């Protein structure tokens, strides 16, 4: 199939055909592929936009510098959120390899974005990177006064199989001065963290 027909297939209602097109685009890519995918990151067609995000995730680390730079330059919230979600997809698809420092810095900056869709996506992306980013998440949690950001960070910490998260979550769950929703989120994240650690120990 030509690259044009593969891009068309990213719009297909059948998810299996979309997945196949993503892999083939990643395999056939040239210097125009990443910019072309990124030109669709604010696309109104949600299926197409998400497929482009996932394809960038399949391409992997080569896409990271483009995504980080675009995140700085473009102030469209849909576009920014798509960039962040693409970075998250890279982290999920390549868990065995260290995530590029510029990608981590870009996501940390996106946590300060005024748009909740963007900053929550950034926190989730950092959570997908896992233990290497845990200290940054803990620091961000201690410094934020936004309960919605705090809850997003707590949920991310609760998904990382690392005992270092236990101390901060326990402290928050017992902090009477903390926002009630934040405190409740810390309680549920603690039990989830236990399950994640047990699961990781078995696997």
pLDDT at 203: 58
- The DSSP result for the chain, as a single string, is --HHHHHHHTT-S-HHHHHHHHHHHHHH--TTHHHHHHTTTT-S-HHHHHHHHHHHHHHGGGGHHHHHHHHHH---HHHHHHHHHHHHHHHHH-TTSPPPHHHHHHHHHHTT-SSHHHHHHHHHHHHHH-GGGHHHHHHHHHH---HHHHHHHHHHHHTS--THHHHHHHHHHT-TTS-HHHHHHHHHHHHHHHHHHHHHHH-
| Same-domain pairing of 139 and 186 | yes
The overall average pLDDT reported for the chain is: 93
95 found inside a domain: yes
Mean pLDDT for the stretch of residues 163-176: 92
| Same-domain pairing of 103 and 139 | no
pLDDT in tens, 34-87: 999 999 999 999 999 999 999 999 999 999 999 999 998 999 999 999 999 999
pLDDT at 27: 95
pLDDT at 145: 87
Mean pLDDT for the stretch of residues 144-167: 91
| Same-domain pairing of 49 and 149 | no
28 found inside a domain: yes
Give the range of the structural domain holding residue 88, as residue numbers without chain letter.
Answer: 1-110
Q: Indicate the pLDDT class of residue 96, thresholds 50, 70 and 90.
A: confident
| Same-domain pairing of 20 and 106 | yes
| Same-domain pairing of 23 and 94 | yes
pLDDT in tens, 102-125: 999 999 999 888 898 899 989 989
135 found inside a domain: yes
Of 110, 141, 176, the last residue of a domain is 110
| Same-domain pairing of 106 and 146 | no
125 found inside a domain: no
């Amino acid at each position: 199939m030509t690259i044009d027909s593969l891009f068309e297939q990213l719009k297909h209602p059948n998810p299996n055909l979309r997945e196949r097109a993503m892999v083939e685009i990643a395999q056939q890519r040239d210097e125009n592929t990443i910019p072309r995918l990124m030109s669709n990151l604010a696309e109104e067609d949600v299926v197409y936009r998400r497929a482009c995000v996932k394809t960038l995730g399949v391409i992997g680390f080569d896409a990271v510098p483009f995504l980080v730079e675009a995140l700085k330059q473009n102030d469209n919230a849909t576009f920014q959120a798509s960039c962040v979600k693409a970075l998250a997809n890279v982290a999920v698809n390549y868990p065995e390899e260290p995530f590029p420092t510029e990608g981590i810095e870009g996501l940390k900056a996106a946590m300060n974005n005024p748009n909740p869709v963007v900053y929550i996506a950034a926190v989730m992306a950092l959570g997908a990177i896992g233990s290497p980013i845990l200290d940054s998440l803990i620091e961000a949690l201690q410094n934020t006064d936004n309960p919605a950001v705090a809850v997003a960070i707590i949920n991310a910490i609760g998904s990382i199989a690392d005992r270092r998260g236990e101390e901060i979550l326990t402290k928050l769950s017992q902090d009477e001065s903390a926002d009630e929703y934040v405190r409740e989120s810390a309680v549920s994240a603690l039990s989830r963290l236990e399950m994640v650690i047990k699961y990781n120990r078995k696997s």
